C-alpha cells in the first residue's frame, strides 16, 4: 500500500532524492526572542552574568521585561536557529519542539515553516495553556555581547511524547541542544531520540550550549561523548569545562582521544576541527561591524551541519560555519537576514 501511494505521488516529494528525507533534524527549546539594548550596569542591577543564559520563572521574566528598553521580537531558540540557517543554505531540515496555542506559538510556527523547516508539533496538552510559549529575554550590550534570561513556558515539558519519531528516523544527523539536559523530562526524551537516530543509521550531534550546562551535567555529557555521540559542538570555555582542564590545547587533546568529530569555536579566532587525523585550525570569516553576537554558535553549527551533510569535508564545513556566523553577528537577531546560500557561493564553497 505504501509503495502504491508513493508511486501515485505527484506533489513536491516526487523528485526527492533517495536516502534520508532530512539533512538535519534538531530537537530544542522553541523560544521567541525578545531583544533590547542594555548597559553593563543594567545587567548588574538585574543580577545577570554577561554572556550567559539563565533560566527564570515567569515572575522573574516579567520583572526583567519591565526594566528593558524598547524591544523587538523574533523567533529564536538555539537549535531552531540552527535549522533555520540550514534551510537558508538550501538544506532539508526539521525541528522538534513544543509551543503553546498562543500568539508567540503561532509566530514561532509561522516563522520556522516560512523558511522551509518542517515543524509538526504535538498538539498542546489541555491545562498547559497557562504556561505559554517559551521566550528568551535577550539583552544586547554595546560590545555586541548578549545576555539571556529564558522562561521556558511549555517547552519545560518537552519530553518523549513530543518526539517526532518519523522525522528523527529520516535524518542524516539528529542534532540535540545541551540546554535540554536542564529539563528532567526532556533529558529522558533525548536518550530516546539518540536511540531512534542510531536505529535509523543517523548520526547524533550535540552542542554543549552554555558553560552552566556543562558545569551542571558534566558527567552525563562525558558519558554521551564516550558512548553515543558522532559529532560535538562546543566553544572554548565549554570544552575546557567538560574535560576539567585549564588550557584549550589540553582540551583539544582530550577530545581527540574520544573518536568523536569535534568542532570547537573560538569567536574571532575561528574554529578548530578535531577528527581522527588530529586538530585543524580554521580562521574566522571576515566581518564588518559586530552588532549582536546572539546566534553566532547556532549559525556556525548550521553551516557546519549543512556542509557535512552535503558533501563538504570537515574543514570546508567549518569555513561555511564561519561564513554563517559572520552574517548573524552583523545585525540584531539570531536568524539570517541575508541569503546564506549566496554568501556560501561568494565564499567559493559552492558553485
Q: How many residues bind its own copies (CB under 8 A)?
A: 27
For helices 236-243 and 211-227, angle between their N-to-C axes, nearest 10 degrees: 60
Footprint on residues 115-174 left by its own copies (CB under 8 A): 115
DSSP letter assigned to residue 197: H
3-state secondary structure of 108: helix
- Name the grid cell of 286: 571576515
Footprint on residues 231-290 left by its own copies (CB under 8 A): none
- Name the grid cell of 202: 543517523
Output the CA angle 331-332-338, nearest 5 degrees: 45
Q: Which string of x and - marks every residue 81-120 that binds its own copies (by CB under 8 A)?
A: ---x-----------------xxx--x--xxx-xx-----
Strand partners, 206: 176, 232
Grid cell 526594566 — which residue? 67
Kindly tell me which of 103 and 259 has the beta carbon lying closer to its own copies: 103
- The minimum distance between CB 88 and its own copies, in angstroms, equals 9
**Candidates 46-54, 123-131, 214-222, 333-341 — which segment interacts with its own copies by CB under 8 A?**
333-341
Kindly tell me which of 249 and 337 has the beta carbon lying closer to its own copies: 337
Kindly tell me which of 146 and 319 has the beta carbon lying closer to its own copies: 146
Distance CA 79, CA 148 (A): 15
Within 8 A by CB and 6+ apart from 131, the residues are 100, 153, 154, 156, 157
User: Beta strand pairing status for 93-96 and 203-207?
Assistant: unpaired
- The minimum distance between CB 90 and its own copies, in angstroms, equals 15
Kindly tell me which of 32 and 232 has the beta carbon lying closer to its own copies: 32
State in Å, rounded, how far the first CA of the chain is from the last one. Answer: 40
Distance CA 146, CA 155 (A): 22
Footprint on residues 1-30 left by its own copies (CB under 8 A): none
Kindly tell me which of 150 and 203 has the beta carbon lying closer to its own copies: 150
Kindly tell me which of 56 and 104 has the beta carbon lying closer to its own copies: 104
**Choice from 167, 169, 335, 343 touching its own copies (CB under 8 A):** 335
Footprint on residues 59-78 left by its own copies (CB under 8 A): 65-66, 68-75
Q: Which residues bind its own copies (CB under 8 A)?
A: 36-37, 65-66, 68-75, 84, 102-104, 107, 110-112, 114-115, 331-333, 335, 337
Amino acid at each position: 500500500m505504501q509503495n502504491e501511494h508513493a508511486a501515485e505521488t505527484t506533489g513536491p516529494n516526487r523528485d526527492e532524492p533517495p536516502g534520508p528525507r532530512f539533512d538535519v533534524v534538531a530537537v530544542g527549546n522553541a523560544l521567541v526572542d525578545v531583544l533590547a539594548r542594555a548597559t553593563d550596569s543594567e545587567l548588574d542591577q538585574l543580577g545577570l552574568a554577561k554572556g550567559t543564559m539563565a533560566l527564570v520563572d515567569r515572575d522573574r521574566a516579567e520583572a526583567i521585561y519591565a526594566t528593558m528598553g524598547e524591544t523587538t521580537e523574533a523567533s529564536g531558540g538555539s537549535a531552531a536557529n540552527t535549522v533555520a540557517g540550514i534551510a537558508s543554505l538550501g538544506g532539508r531540515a526539521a525541528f522538534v519542539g513544543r509551543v503553546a496555542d498562543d500568539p508567540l506559538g503561532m509566530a514561532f510556527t509561522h516563522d520556522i515553516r516560512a523558511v522551509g523547516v518542517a515543524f509538526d508539533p504535538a498538539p498542546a496538552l489541555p491545562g498547559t495553556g497557562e504556561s505559554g510559549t517559551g521566550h528568551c529575554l535577550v539583552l544586547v550590550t554595546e560590545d555586541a555581547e548578549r545576555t539571556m534570561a529564558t522562561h521556558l513556558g511549555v517547552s519545560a515539558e518537552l519530553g518523549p511524547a513530543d518526539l517526532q519519531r518519523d522525522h528523527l528516523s529520516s535524518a542524516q544527523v539528529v542534532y540535540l541542544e545541551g540546554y535540554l539536559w536542564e529539563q528532567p523530562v526532556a533529558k529522558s526524551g533525548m536518550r530516546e531520540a539518540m536511540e531512534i537516530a542510531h536505529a535509523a543509521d543517523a548520526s547524533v550531534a550535540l552542542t554543549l550550549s552554555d558553560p552552566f550546562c556543562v558545569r551542571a551535567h558534566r558527567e552525563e555529557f562525558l558519558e554521551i561523548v564516550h558512548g553515543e555521540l558522532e559529532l560535538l559542538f562546543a566553544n572554548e570555555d565549554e570544552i575546557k569545562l567538560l574535560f576539567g582542564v585549564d588550557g584549550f590545547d589540553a582540551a583539544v587533546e582530550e577530545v581527540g582521544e574520544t573518536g568523536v568529530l569535534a568542532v570547537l569555536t573560538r569567536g574571532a579566532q575561528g574554529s578548530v576541527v578535531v577528527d581522527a587525523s588530529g586538530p585543524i585550525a580554521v580562521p574566522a570569516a571576515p566581518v564588518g561591524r559586530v552588532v549582536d553576537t546572539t546566534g553566532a554558535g547556532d549559525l556556525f553549527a548550521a553551516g557546519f551541519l549543512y556542509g557535512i551533510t552535503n558533501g563538504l569535508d570537515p574543514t570546508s564545513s567549518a569555513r561555511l560555519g564561519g561564513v554563517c556566523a559572520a552574517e548573524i553577528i552583523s545585525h540584531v537577531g539570531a536568524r539570517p537576514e541575508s541569503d546564506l546560500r549566496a554568501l556560501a557561493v561568494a565564499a567559493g564553497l559552492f558553485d
